Chains A and B, each alone.
Chain A
Amino acid sequence: MKTFVGIDLGSTTTKAILLDENRDVIGRGITNSRSNYATAARVASEEARVDGRFTLFRRALTEAEGISVRLDDFLGALERAFRLEQFLEQLDDLQQTCIGLVQGDRFAGRESGVKEALAEVFTRLRAEAPELYAPGAKRKSDFFRDIAGSRYHTQAEEVARDASLPYELLLNVYDKSIIDVENRPPAGGLSEKFRRALARVLEADPQLQSARGDVLPVIERTLAVDLEETYLVGTGYGRVTLPFSKEHIRSEILCHGLGAHMMYPSTRTVLDIGGQDTKGIQVDAQGIVVNFQMNDRCAAGCGRYLGYIADEMNMGLHELGPLAMKSDRPARINSTCTVFAGAELRDRLSLGEKREDILAGLHRAIILRAISIISRSGGVTDEFTFTGGVAKNEAAVRELRKLIKENYGEVTININPESIYTGALGAAEFARRAHSGQIQGVEP
C-alpha cells in the first residue's frame, strides 16, 4: 500500500507520521534528535512504520471473523514484546560495540577483565529486560539511550565493584559506544522482530494458544502488506542541515499550519510553543498560512525555559504545571530569560515566596510573551489551536485561556493530545499532495 511520510526534526525530538491514501494517520513515531539528523529521521520514520503495522493488525483482526482474543490486551502484549525484541537487538549491538572498544593504553593488561565484566553486565541487562516491558511497568523514557543508559550505569557499578575494576573503565566504553549505536539505524528486519514478538506473546499466555491458528495467518497476511514509502516530506528548524533533498523539504511553519488545520479544520490561529521557538501562525480555511511571527534569536520563554526551571527546582518537567495550579497569588515576573531564570528563582525563594506562586508567575510570563508574538502575527481568530510540548502543561494552558479571553473574548481553544505531531502531520499531507501532483501541496 502507498504511504506518505512526514518527518519533523525538532531540537529535542524527531517526529514522524505515516499517512495512507485516505489521509488517515496509520502510524506515529518519535525519537530523540541525537547528534545525527539523518539517523533521527530514519529511526522516527521506522517507528512510525512499526506503529503503522499495529494499526494494520488492529484493522485486520477487527475485520477477520472468528477471532476470539481480546484485541486490546493482545495488541498491548504484542507491542510490549516487540519493544523488548527491539531493545534486545540494540543491546546486542551495544555489547559488540563496547567490546570492540576495549583496547589501547587505557585498558593495557586489563582487557580480559573488562571484557568479562562487560559480558556479566550485559547478561544482567538481558535478564532484567523483560521486567522493563512487563504489563504496567513504568519507563521514564522510551528511547534506547535513556533506558539502556540508566540500567547500564547501575549494573556496571556493581559488577565493577565485585570485580575490583575501576568503574570509570566500563563507563568509558559505554559513553563512546552509545553514540555509535544510536547513530546506527537499527538493523534487522521488522517482520522477523514481529514474528519473534508474537511467539513470545503466544508462549507467555496459554489461553492464546487456542487462538493461534486464527491469529497467525492474519498477522502473516498483514506483514506481507508492503508499506511503500511513496513520498516523504521533511521539515524542522534550522533546515540548513536537514537530511533531505530540496524538493522534499517544506517550511515548518507551513507544515504546522497545515497540521493544525487537519486536526481542527476550523482553525484560524495556531500557537506553537516548542523547545526553542514560539510561533504564532494564521491560516485560512484551506490551512494555507497567511501570516506568521516567531521569536527571534532569543529563545526566552520557550519550552526549554520550563525544562531549566524544573532542573533548578529539582522537579520533573511534568510536575511544574500541577504545582503552579495550586497557587492563588501568582508572583509578578517579567523576565523570561532562561539564563537569568535560576538567579531569579533563588532570589524569590530566599525572599520567602512560595514555590507554587513563583511557578504560576513563570507560566504567566511565558504565555504573555507568546501572546505578544500572536498579536504580532495578526491576533487571535476563532478557532485557536495550541500545540507543542508546553500545550501539555495545565498551568500554561490556564494562563493562556485567561489571556485569550481578556484580549480576544470567547474563542474555541483546541489542544490535541497528539499535538507534538502537528508539524509531521502537515509534512505527511504535503507528501501526499506532492505525490498526487499538486503544486507545492495545494489542494485544488
Chain B
Amino acid sequence: MTTIVTPKAAPAKEVVKDDSMVKQKEMMAAHYDRLTSASETGAKVVSTFVPGNLNELIMCFDLLNNLPEVNAIQSGLRRQSGAYVLEAEKIGHSEDVCTYVKSDVGMMAKGNIGPNGKKLPNPDALLLSYTGCFTFMKWFELLREQYKCETIMLHTPYMGDGKITPNMVEYMVKQIKEEVIPKLERISGVKFDIDRLREYLKKSAKAEDDLVHVLKTAKNKPSPIDAYFGGIYYIGPIFGAFRGTEDAIDYYRFLRAECEARLAEGKGPVTPDGDMGKERYRLVVEGPPNYTNFRQFWKMFYDEGAVVVASSYTKVGGVYDLGFRHDPDKPLETLAEYCLGVYTNRSLPMRIEMLANYIDEYQADGLLINSIKSCNSFSAGQLLIMREVEKRTGKPAAFVESDLVDPRYFSAANIKNRLESYFQMIEQRRAGGRAAA
C-alpha cells in the first residue's frame, strides 16, 4: 500500500453563481453607473458609512449614497486594493492604519476610478452617522481635507450598558432635526418631507422582513445558505444604497424564493464551485471576511463541508434578526434606534450573548473568529469574546487572522492550517462525546 502521492493542481473552473448573486451584481453595477454619471445628470452625492447608513433620509433629498467602505471592498475583490494601500503608504499612512482607509485614500490618489472603470464623483457632503468606529471620524477628516466639502456629524452614543435609553434616542433625534436635516436641505436644495421618509421606511421594513427570513433558513440542516460568505452578497443592497427602494424589495423577495426553493430540495449553499457537498460543520463566525482572497478563503470552508450558519459581520449594517425594523410611524426615532443598534455599537457582553445564542439557535459546532489585523474596532476584546462564548456554550472556538483588503496580510497556508485543525478538532470532540455517551 502506498499512500505517498505527488499532489496535482486542479484545472481552474468557471465560477458558479446563483441567480440572486447575478441580480445583486447588476444592482451594484447600476448604482455605480449612477454615481459615475453624477456630473452629467447633475445628481449630488453624499458619502457615508455602512453602519448607521441613513439611506432613507439621504434619498429624501435626492442625494446619491456613496460608501467608501464598499468602494474599498470592491477594490479588494478586484485585486486592486494592494496597489492602493501601497499608494496610501507612500503618501504617509502607516502600516497599521485601517486598510479600508488606505485603499480609499490610495484609490483617490490614483484617479478615484470606480469598479466600472469610470471616475467616481467628488462628494458634496460627508455624512458621518455612526461614530462607534473612531477611525471613521479620522477617515472623514482626511476626505474633508481632500474635497473641502461640508461634513455632517451625527453622534451615536455607544451601547455600553447594553440598552438603548429614551435619552439616547432623544439626543440623536435632536441632532437629526437640528443638524442633519437642515444641512442636507441646504446642500441639496430640496425641502425635507417627512411623509416621503415614511414611505421609504415602509419599504425598508418590507425588505428587512425577507432578509431575516433568508438568514433564518440557516437554522435548517443542511443550511441552504452560507450566512457569511454568501451573506456578504445578501447584505449588499440593504446595507448600501438600496434600503428603502423597490429594487431592494424585489431583490429580497427573489432571494427569499430562491432560498426557499433550495431548502425544499434539501440543497446546501451555492459556492463558486457549485452546490456545496455534504454539510459537515456548522459554524458561527465573528469578524469581517478577507476580501483580497475572498474565494480562496471561502473554498477552505466548503471544501471541508463547513458552512457558516450565522455571522456577526452581516449585522454591522443592522441587526434585523433580533427584531429591529425601520418604523414609518416614528420616522426620526427609528433612524436613531437603527444607528444605535448596529452590531459594532453593541457592548462586548451584548456581542458575547448574541454569538452564544447563535450557536444554540443555529445548532452550530462552534465559533470561529477572523481577526482583522488593521481593525482595532473589531479586534479589541475578540479573544475575551472567544473564551466567554466557549465557556457558555461548551463548543470549541478558533481564531484565524487576516485583513480586510491588504493582500499582504493573507497567508493561505497559515489560515488553512488553522482551519483544518479546527475542523478536525470539532470532529474529534464530537466523536469523543459520542464515545463518552
Given known A-B contacts A240-B413, A376-B383, A293 and B3 have beta carbons under 8 A apart: no
Asked if B432 is an interface residue, CB under 8 A from chain A, the answer is yes
Main secondary structure of the interface of A (DSSP, over half): mixed
Are A289 and B3 in contact, CB atoms less than 8 angstroms apart? Answer: no
A253-B421, A297-B414, A444-B435 known; A38-B428 Cβ under 8 A = no
Find residues 401-422 in chain B having any chain A CB closer than 8 Å to their own CB: 401, 409, 411-414, 416-418, 420-421
**Which A414-444 residues have a C-beta within 8 angstroms of B?**
438-444
Name the B residues within 8 Å of A141 (CB-CB): none
Which residues of chain A (240-284) have a CB below 8 Å from chain B? 240-245, 248, 250-254
Shortest Cβ gap from B230 to chain A (Å)? 24
Taking CB atoms, residues of chain B closer than 8 Å to A232 are 1, 3-4
Given A251-B424, A439-B431, A441-B428: A38 and B414 within 8 A (CB)? no
Distance between B422 CB and nearest chain A CB, rounded to angstroms: 8
Counted as pairs of residues, one from A and one from B, with CB atoms less than 8 Å apart, the total is 101
Q: Does B161 contact A (CB under 8 A)?
A: no
Are B413's CB and A440's CB within 8 A?
A: no
How far, in angstroms, from A292 to B426 measured CA to CA in the complex? 13
Interface code B1-29, partner A: CB below 8 Å = 1, 0 otherwise?
11111110000000000000000000000
With contacts A240-B416, A289-B425 taken as known, whether A248 is within 8 angstroms of B3 at the C-beta atoms is yes
Q: A244-B4, A244-B5 are in contact. Are A252 and B417 (CB under 8 A)?
A: yes
Q: Which residues of B contact A438 (CB under 8 A)?
A: 431
Q: When A237-B417, A251-B420, A291-B396 are in contact, do A38 and B4 touch as well, CB less than 8 Å? A: yes
B contact face: mostly helix, strand, loop, or mixed: helix
A234 CA / B413 CA spacing, docked (Å): 16
Whether, in the assembled complex, A136 has its beta carbon less than 8 Å from a beta carbon of chain B, the answer is: no
Q: Is the CB of A229 within 8 A of B1?
A: yes
Interface string of B192-210 (1 = CB under 8 A from A): 0000000000000000000
Taking a contact as CB atoms under 8 Å apart, the answer to whether A296 and B4 are in contact is no
Residue on A nearest B409 in the bound complex, by CB: A297
Closest Cβ of chain A to B368, distance in Å, is: 13
Q: Are B421 and A442 touching (Cβ within 8 A)? A: no
In this assembly, does A288 line the interface, its C-beta being within 8 Å of a C-beta of chain B?
A: yes
Chain B residues near A252: list those with CB within 8 A.
Answer: 417, 421
Q: Which B residues are CB-close (under 8 A) to A238?
A: 413, 417
B399–A42 CB distance below 8 A: no
Residues of A within 8 A of B4 (CB): 38, 41-42, 45, 232, 234, 243-244
The reply to whether the CB of B429 lies closer than 8 angstroms to some CB of chain A is: yes
Q: A229-B3, A294-B418 are in contact. List 18 more A-B contacts (CB 8 A).
A: A38-B4, A234-B3, A234-B4, A245-B3, A245-B5, A251-B417, A251-B425, A288-B432, A289-B428, A292-B418, A292-B421, A294-B414, A296-B414, A376-B399, A440-B424, A442-B428, A442-B435, A444-B435
Interface pairs (15), CB distance under 8 Å: A38-B5, A45-B4, A230-B1, A237-B417, A241-B7, A243-B6, A251-B425, A294-B414, A294-B418, A297-B401, A297-B411, A440-B424, A440-B431, A442-B431, A443-B435
- A residues engaging B (CB < 8 A)? 38, 41-42, 45, 229-230, 232, 234, 237-245, 248, 250-254, 286, 288-294, 296-297, 376, 378, 438-444
Closest 9 CB pairs of A and B: A251-B421, A297-B411, A238-B413, A442-B431, A253-B421, A444-B435, A440-B427, A232-B3, A439-B431
